[in-house]
Structure 1
C-alpha cells in the first residue's frame, strides 16, 4: 500500500511509517510545482496509485466530488504532535489496510479522543 502524506503533515512521519507500509512519500517530495496545491496532489496520487493521508477537509470535498481513486484517510484530530499522529495511524493500520483493499468506501475517517 502506498501512502501520500499531505503537506499539512510532517515529512518526519515517513521514517516512522515506512516499516509498516509499502511506500510512504510526502507531498513536498513530489515532482510537481511546489508548494503543491490539493488538486495537483490528488492528481498525482490518482496517477501513481497512492492513498492520501490528510487533516485537510478540502481533500474530503475533492473525493466526494471526483470520487476515488485515490482514496482518502482523513485525520480528524486536534493539534496532535507528529508522534501521536503516527501512533494513531499505526493503531488503525489493520483498518486502513482493509479500507484501501475494499471497494466500499472512498474516505476513512480517523478521530482522536
Structure 2
C-alpha cells in the first residue's frame, strides 16, 4: 500500500515510511501542490494511492465518490514528523486490514 501524502503534511514523511508503505509519495514532490483536491483525488485513483491527509475535504470526497482512492484522515492536529511516523507505524496493521479489504471502509480516521 502506497500513500499519497497531502500538502498539509511534510514531505519528510516519504523516506521513513517507505519500509512499511513502499511507493509512498507527497504531492509537493509530484508537482501537485497548486492543484485542486479533485485533481489530487484523480491522481491518487489513477496511480493506486491511499491519500494521507488532515484535510476533511478528502473525507467528504470519499463519502461522495467512494473508493478508490481510500483516505486516511489524521485528526491529530499538527504533530512533529516523528510523531506522525510513529502513529502510522503503530496503526499499520489496522490501516492494512481496513483499507486493503474490499469492505465498506473508504476513509479511516486516526487520532
Length-normalised TM-score, structure 1: 0.91
Contact 1:74 1:107 in 2 (8 A): yes
Deviation at 1:80, TM superposition (A): 1.1
Does the alignment pair 1:75 with 2:86? no
After superposition, the C-alpha distances for 1:5-26 in whole angstroms (9 at most, x for unaligned) are 0000000001110111121100
Aligned-residue RMSD, C-alpha: 1.2
Q: Deviations over 1:16-74 (max 9, x none)?
A: 10111121100112255x42221111000001111100010010111111111100011
Tell whether 2:36 aligns with 1:37: yes
User: Aligned residue for 1:46?
Assistant: 45
C-alpha separation between the residues in 1 aligned to 2:54 and 2:83?
A: 14
- Equivalenced residues, count: 110
1:68-87 per-residue CA deviation (whole Å, 9 max, x = no partner) reads 11000111112211111111
Partner of 2:107: 107
Point out 4+ residue stretches in structure 1 off by more than 2 angstroms: 29-32
